[in-house]
Amino acid sequence: MEYIFIGKIVSTHGIKGEIKIISEFDFKDKAFKPGNEIYFGKEKNKFIISSYRRHKNYEMITMEGYNNINLVLPFIKDDVYILDSELNLDEDEYLDSSLLGLNIYNNDELLGEITEVFSPSPNRKVIRFVKDGKNYLVPYVKSFVKLIDLSSKKMILYSMEGVLECE
Protein backbone atom coordinates (compact mmCIF):
# COMPACT_ATOMS: atom_id res chain seq x y z
CA MET A 1 0.00 0.00 0.00
CA GLU A 2 1.24 3.41 -0.96
CA TYR A 3 0.33 6.85 0.37
CA ILE A 4 -0.67 9.24 -2.41
CA PHE A 5 -0.57 13.00 -1.92
CA ILE A 6 -3.99 14.51 -2.69
CA GLY A 7 -3.81 18.03 -1.29
CA LYS A 8 -2.95 20.47 1.48
CA ILE A 9 -5.15 21.85 4.25
CA VAL A 10 -5.20 25.63 3.92
CA SER A 11 -7.81 26.72 6.49
CA THR A 12 -11.03 25.96 8.27
CA HIS A 13 -14.52 27.01 7.25
CA GLY A 14 -17.15 27.92 9.82
CA ILE A 15 -17.21 26.68 13.39
CA LYS A 16 -18.34 23.08 12.88
CA GLY A 17 -14.99 21.51 11.95
CA GLU A 18 -15.09 21.83 8.17
CA ILE A 19 -11.67 22.19 6.55
CA LYS A 20 -10.55 23.63 3.20
CA ILE A 21 -8.16 21.61 1.09
CA ILE A 22 -6.42 22.85 -2.03
CA SER A 23 -5.97 19.94 -4.41
CA GLU A 24 -4.84 19.37 -7.98
CA PHE A 25 -5.48 15.63 -7.72
CA ASP A 26 -7.19 14.12 -10.78
CA PHE A 27 -9.60 11.81 -8.98
CA LYS A 28 -11.08 14.08 -6.30
CA ASP A 29 -14.50 12.45 -6.50
CA LYS A 30 -12.95 9.11 -5.56
CA ALA A 31 -10.45 10.42 -3.00
CA PHE A 32 -12.77 12.68 -0.98
CA LYS A 33 -15.72 10.30 -0.86
CA PRO A 34 -17.51 10.10 2.53
CA GLY A 35 -16.42 6.95 4.34
CA ASN A 36 -12.91 7.01 2.86
CA GLU A 37 -9.92 6.99 5.15
CA ILE A 38 -7.51 9.88 4.64
CA TYR A 39 -4.23 10.71 6.35
CA PHE A 40 -2.78 14.04 7.53
CA GLY A 41 0.73 15.28 8.14
CA LYS A 42 4.12 13.61 8.38
CA GLU A 43 2.79 11.06 10.85
CA LYS A 44 -0.05 10.14 8.46
CA ASN A 45 -2.73 10.29 11.17
CA LYS A 46 -5.87 8.51 9.97
CA PHE A 47 -9.31 10.15 9.68
CA ILE A 48 -12.61 9.14 8.11
CA ILE A 49 -14.40 11.59 5.83
CA SER A 50 -17.98 12.24 6.91
CA SER A 51 -18.90 14.89 4.32
CA TYR A 52 -17.48 16.39 1.15
CA ARG A 53 -18.37 19.30 -1.10
CA ARG A 54 -16.68 21.66 -3.54
CA HIS A 55 -16.58 25.37 -2.76
CA LYS A 56 -14.87 27.68 -5.27
CA ASN A 57 -11.39 26.17 -5.76
CA TYR A 58 -11.43 24.13 -2.56
CA GLU A 59 -12.36 20.64 -1.45
CA MET A 60 -14.35 20.99 1.76
CA ILE A 61 -14.53 18.04 4.14
CA THR A 62 -15.56 17.15 7.65
CA MET A 63 -14.27 14.13 9.53
CA GLU A 64 -15.97 11.74 11.90
CA GLY A 65 -15.58 12.92 15.50
CA TYR A 66 -14.29 16.39 14.55
CA ASN A 67 -17.29 18.70 14.67
CA ASN A 68 -15.69 21.79 16.20
CA ILE A 69 -13.27 24.34 14.74
CA ASN A 70 -10.97 23.99 17.76
CA LEU A 71 -10.45 20.29 16.99
CA VAL A 72 -9.33 20.90 13.38
CA LEU A 73 -7.20 24.05 13.80
CA PRO A 74 -4.01 21.99 14.45
CA PHE A 75 -4.31 20.40 10.97
CA ILE A 76 -3.89 23.67 9.03
CA LYS A 77 -0.92 23.39 6.62
CA ASP A 78 -0.87 19.57 6.85
CA ASP A 79 -0.51 17.54 3.68
CA VAL A 80 -3.39 15.17 2.92
CA TYR A 81 -2.88 11.60 1.67
CA ILE A 82 -4.94 8.60 0.71
CA LEU A 83 -3.90 4.98 0.32
CA ASP A 84 -3.90 3.79 -3.27
CA SER A 85 -6.18 0.92 -2.22
CA GLU A 86 -8.89 3.44 -1.18
CA LEU A 87 -9.11 5.04 -4.63
CA ASN A 88 -10.81 2.22 -6.54
CA LEU A 89 -9.77 3.54 -9.93
CA ASP A 90 -11.56 2.26 -13.01
CA GLU A 91 -9.73 -0.01 -15.43
CA ASP A 92 -8.82 2.88 -17.75
CA GLU A 93 -7.81 5.36 -15.02
CA TYR A 94 -4.18 5.80 -13.99
CA LEU A 95 -2.28 7.94 -11.54
CA ASP A 96 0.34 10.10 -13.22
CA SER A 97 2.99 8.57 -10.98
CA SER A 98 2.16 5.06 -12.26
CA LEU A 99 3.05 6.13 -15.82
CA LEU A 100 6.58 7.21 -14.93
CA GLY A 101 9.18 4.78 -16.25
CA LEU A 102 6.89 3.21 -18.83
CA ASN A 103 8.33 2.67 -22.29
CA ILE A 104 6.33 4.65 -24.81
CA TYR A 105 5.74 3.29 -28.32
CA ASN A 106 4.44 4.73 -31.58
CA ASN A 107 2.84 1.54 -32.90
CA ASP A 108 5.86 -0.86 -32.74
CA GLU A 109 8.61 1.77 -32.60
CA LEU A 110 10.09 2.42 -29.15
CA LEU A 111 10.12 6.17 -28.62
CA GLY A 112 11.64 6.32 -25.17
CA GLU A 113 10.84 6.23 -21.46
CA ILE A 114 8.26 8.45 -19.78
CA THR A 115 10.03 10.80 -17.37
CA GLU A 116 7.23 13.21 -16.45
CA VAL A 117 3.50 13.81 -16.70
CA PHE A 118 2.50 17.41 -16.10
CA SER A 119 -0.32 19.91 -16.61
CA PRO A 120 0.70 23.15 -18.34
CA SER A 121 -2.90 24.31 -17.97
CA PRO A 122 -5.88 23.07 -15.93
CA ASN A 123 -7.47 21.05 -18.75
CA ARG A 124 -4.38 19.74 -20.47
CA LYS A 125 -1.87 17.01 -19.65
CA VAL A 126 1.42 16.34 -21.37
CA ILE A 127 3.80 13.37 -21.30
CA ARG A 128 7.53 14.03 -21.45
CA PHE A 129 9.81 11.25 -22.66
CA VAL A 130 13.49 11.09 -23.57
CA LYS A 131 14.78 9.76 -26.90
CA ASP A 132 18.41 9.99 -27.95
CA GLY A 133 19.11 12.49 -25.18
CA LYS A 134 16.33 14.86 -26.29
CA ASN A 135 13.10 15.63 -24.47
CA TYR A 136 9.86 15.11 -26.38
CA LEU A 137 6.34 16.11 -25.42
CA VAL A 138 3.14 14.29 -26.35
CA PRO A 139 -0.39 15.32 -25.39
CA TYR A 140 -1.82 12.87 -22.85
CA VAL A 141 -5.23 12.49 -24.43
CA LYS A 142 -7.29 9.29 -24.60
CA SER A 143 -7.63 9.66 -28.38
CA PHE A 144 -3.80 9.38 -28.72
CA VAL A 145 -3.30 6.51 -26.27
CA LYS A 146 -3.99 3.08 -27.71
CA LEU A 147 -2.92 0.97 -24.72
CA ILE A 148 -1.46 1.32 -21.25
CA ASP A 149 -0.10 -1.88 -19.76
CA LEU A 150 1.46 -1.30 -16.34
CA SER A 151 2.53 -4.94 -15.92
CA SER A 152 4.51 -4.83 -19.20
CA LYS A 153 5.66 -1.26 -18.45
CA LYS A 154 4.48 0.09 -21.79
CA MET A 155 2.23 2.71 -23.32
CA ILE A 156 1.34 2.40 -27.00
CA LEU A 157 0.19 5.46 -28.92
CA TYR A 158 -1.83 5.59 -32.10
CA SER A 159 0.19 6.70 -35.13
CA MET A 160 1.73 10.01 -34.11
CA GLU A 161 3.32 11.31 -37.36
CA GLY A 162 3.87 15.03 -37.10
CA VAL A 163 2.67 15.22 -33.49
CA LEU A 164 5.92 14.52 -31.66
CA GLU A 165 7.43 17.75 -30.45
CA CYS A 166 11.03 18.20 -29.37
CA GLU A 167 11.61 20.46 -26.39
pLDDT in tens, 117-144: 998 877 788 999 988 888 888 888 888 8
Name the residue ranges covered by the structural domains of the chain. 3-87, 96-166
Q: Which fold has domain 96-166?
A: SH3 type barrels. (2.30.30)
Task: Please state the CATH superfamily assignment of the domain spanning residues 3-87 in this structure.
Answer: RimM (2.40.30.60)
pTM: 0.81
**Confidence grade of residue 20 (pLDDT, cut at 50, 70, 90):** very high
Pairing of strands 45-55, 58-63: antiparallel
pLDDT tens digit string along 1-10? 799 999 999 9
